C-alpha cells in the first residue's frame, strides 16, 4: 500500500500567500519523475546550450560513436526513438557535419551511420561536460544515492515497460 506522505514539502511557496496543498502528488513516483525529469532536462539544456546539443541528440551521438556503422533503425531501437522521428534528428546532425549517412554494403536499404571527425571531436567535449553535469547531481545525493537512483529508475522502466514497451510500430 503506497503511503501518500513520504516526502517533505514543495518549493512553490513564494514570498507571500499560503502554501498550496499538493495532496498525494509529492509522494507519487510518476509525479516526482515528471518534475525531476523536467528539471534535469532544463539543467542539461542550460549546460549544453553553448554546444547547441539537446539530450536526445547526445543520445544519438553516443550510440553512433560507440557503434559505428549501425543502421538508423537499430539506433532508434536502442534509444526508444521511432525511426520516423529519428530522420529529422539525423538530418540536423548531418547538416551540422557531425554524423554521416552511408548506404550499407550488406543491405542497400539501410544507412550505416558514423561520426565525422568534427563529430568525434565534439563528442569528446560533450562527454566531459556530461560528466560535470552528473557530478553536480552526485554532489547532492552522493555516489551511493546516485547508483541507487539509477538502479531504481531502471526497474521502474522495466516494470512499466513490460506491459506496453516503446515497441516500434
CB atoms within 10 A of CB 72: 21
Burial class from Cβ neighbours inside 10 Å (0-12, 13-18, 19+) for residue 75 reads: buried
Contact flags string 102-141 toward a copy of itself, x per CB under 8 A: ---xxx-------------------x--xx-xxxxxxxxx
Tell me how far, at minimum, the Cβ of 127 lies from DNA, in Å.
Answer: 18
Enumerate residues 148-167 that contact a copy of itself by CB under 8 A.
148-161, 163-166
120 alpha carbon, distance to own chain's centre = 20
Comparison of 95 and 112: residue with beta carbon closer to a copy of itself: 112
CA angle 149, 152, 154 (to 5 degrees): 110
Closest to 10 measured CA to CA, from 37, 31, 40: 31
The answer to the question of residue 156 lying near DNA (CB under 7 A) is no
Enumerate residues 41-100 that contact a copy of itself by CB under 8 A.
41-44, 46, 55, 59, 62-63, 65-67, 70, 74-75, 77-78, 80
DSSP secondary structure code for residue 71 in this structure: B
- Per partner kind, with CB cut-offs from 5 to 8 A, the member of DNA, a copy of itself, none near residue 128 is none
Closest to 113 measured CA to CA, from 155, 72, 66: 72
Q: Which stretch binds DNA (CB under 7 A): 21-29, 61-69, 70-78, 127-135?
A: 70-78
CA angle 42, 148, 123 (to 5 degrees): 45
Number of residues that bind DNA (CB under 7 A): 31
Tell me how far, at minimum, the Cβ of 88 lies from a copy of itself, in Å.
Answer: 18
Tell me how far, at minimum, the Cβ of 103 lies from DNA, in Å.
Answer: 8
Amino acid at each position: 500500500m503506497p503511503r501518500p506522505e513520504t516526502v517533505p514539502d514543495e518549493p512553490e511557496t513564494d514570498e507571500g500567500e499560503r502554501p498550496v496543498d499538493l495532496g498525494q502528488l509529492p509522494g507519487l513516483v510518476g509525479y516526482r519523475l515528471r518534475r525531476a525529469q523536467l528539471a534535469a532536462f532544463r539543467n542539461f539544456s542550460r549546460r549544453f546550450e553553448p554546444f547547441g546539443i539537446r539530450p536526445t541528440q547526445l543520445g544519438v551521438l553516443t550510440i553512433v560513436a560507440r557503434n559505428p556503422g549501425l543502421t538508423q533503425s537499430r539506433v532508434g531501437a536502442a534509444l526508444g526513438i521511432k525511426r520516423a522521428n529519428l530522420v529529422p534528428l539525423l538530418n540536423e546532425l548531418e547538416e551540422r557535419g557531425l554524423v554521416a549517412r552511408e548506404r550499407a554494403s550488406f543491405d542497400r536499404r539501410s544507412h550505416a551511420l558514423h561520426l565525422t571527425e568534427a563529430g568525434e571531436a565534439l563528442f569528446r567535449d560533450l562527454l566531459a561536460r556530461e560528466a560535470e553535469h552528473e557530478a553536480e547531481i552526485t554532489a547532492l545525493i552522493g555516489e551511493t544515492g546516485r547508483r541507487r537512483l539509477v538502479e531504481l529508475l531502471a526497474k521502474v522502466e522495466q516494470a512499466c515497460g513490460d506491459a506496453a514497451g516503446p515497441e516500434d510500430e
